[in-house]
Amino acid sequence: MDSGIGLLPAAAAVRRLRPDADLLISNDPDGMPWGPRTIEDLTERAVAVALAAAEHGPDALIVACNTASVHALPALRAALEPGIPVIGTVPAIKPAATGGGKVAIWATPATTGSAYQRGLIRDFADGAEVTEVPCPGLADAVEHADRDAVDEAVAAAAALTPADVRAVVLGCTHYELVEERILAALEARGRAGLPPIVFHGSADAVAAQALRRIGAEPAPDADPTGGLTVLLSGRPGQLPAAALGYAESRLLGATAPAH
């Protein structure tokens, strides 16, 4: 679940691990974006999206949204657990910081500098030199597959990122959909003689954790028989046409909405 298509990387990660898994995507086009909402309003909408998914009897729920994981995870777990395990999404600061050096965390303006992110840095940065990079407009540009807006937002964030950064934490699930363009923008700043940048998203980790929570083993060679169901603010539907520009959507077998 997510407010928009930021859930695609996690869903695709589950699909790669279990091609036979039936996937249910529950998002909230009527209420997106969630970031600018009050915590109470965001929590109410996130719980509604989760309860709509719960009516279909899933084995587990991945909260594929950093903002909802920060603010609504306790309410989501209270509403669904223990019947349905709830897996949140946390920026991968701990693995990125392993080995020290310079690490950048790209996140939404609401998350950048928040007590939540600062707490993660304090607890898990492990001596790395961390730069928090706000990315205004990037998630919205990714959501609408607006290439020019994506490139503009990425360029602005790249300019705030140390040129010799060793690792980049993608602190918003939407950003994983444009990882290659983020890398291109950072490399354009000149990194001669420096090792390749390592990106740390959350999709693979939360997919693996979801399988562990339900006692399922990865089976990437399983028959690709898994189906796809989409809920749009609780209504049956299909992913928006903008989502089809991303490889993760095509991996899921998503099709364009009917007209």
Catalytically active residues are 65, 172
Q: Which amino acid is at 44?
A: E
Residues 6+ apart with CB under 8 A from 88: 63, 69, 73, 206
Alpha carbon of residue 37 to chain centroid: 18
Which backbone phi and psi does 153 adopt, to 5 degrees?
-70, -40
**Residues whose CB is less than 8 angstroms from the CB of residue 49 and which lie 6 or more positions away in sequence, other chains included:** 1, 3, 26, 27, 28, 231, 233, 234
Place of tokens 């928090």: 132
- Give the chain's end-to-end CA distance (angstroms, integer): 25
CA distance 16 to 71: 29
Q: Cα(158)–Cα(146) distance, rounded to whole angstroms? A: 18
DSSP for residue 222: S
